[in-house]
Amino acid sequence: MTRPMRVLGIDPGLTRMGMGVVEGSVGRPLTLVDVNVLRTSSQLPVAERLVSIEIGIDAWLDEHRPDAVAVERVFARSDSSTIMGTAQASAIALVCAARRGLPVALHTPSEVKAAVSGNGRADKAQVGAMVTRILRLDAPPKPADAADALALAITHIWRGGAQSRLDAAVAAARSRA
């Protein structure tokens, strides 16, 4: 049996960044390690907010020592006012993980929804309900950013672990050829 993987899922945002740590492996029950939402004040300059996010992510990486980090892939939505801040917060998450040599995966929202609910168009309530069921929680994590971060970690354990094994097998085959 393979060692359980510990994944930090990050739902990036400049005002609210969901962070959730899940541990487990494919075909086995998953375990919630921790979940929280890092908040920054819109009254502060963006640079200071990004430093707060970096400090918060680094503290979680120190405390929880994940094997990998899964971040929601930023994409252009109709609400373009939040895209820049979300992209900046996402970049901080990527830098914090890369600085430690941790593997980082980007998962699209529809990929995460499909992984946890079976429906790539699931709404926030459906994702929260499935995260609650998968992790055997008493209630859905609040706010939705927390549930989304856990859904990212779950997706990475279920899909990312398999993908990394496939990538390793392809690399090994190429090195023998």
What would the pLDDT profile of 90-136 be if each residue is shown by its tens digit? 999 999 999 999 999 999 999 999 999 999 999 999 999 999 999 99
What would the pLDDT profile of 123-147 be if each residue is shown by its tens digit? 999 999 999 999 999 999 999 999 9
- Catalytic annotation, pick one of 34, 79, 145, 148: 145
Rounded-to-integer distance, Cα 70 and Cα 83, Å:
19
**Interior/surface letters 144-176, b for 16+ CB within 10 angstroms, e for the rest:** bbbbbbbbbbbbbbbbbbeeeeeeeeeeeeeee
CATH of the domain at 114: 3.30.420.10
Strands 16-24 and 5-11 turn out to be antiparallel
- Catalytic annotation, pick one of 67, 72, 79, 123: 72
- The model carries a pTM of 0.89
Containing structural domain, residue 105: 5-176
Establish whether 145 is a catalytic residue.
Answer: yes
How many domains would you assign to the chain? 1
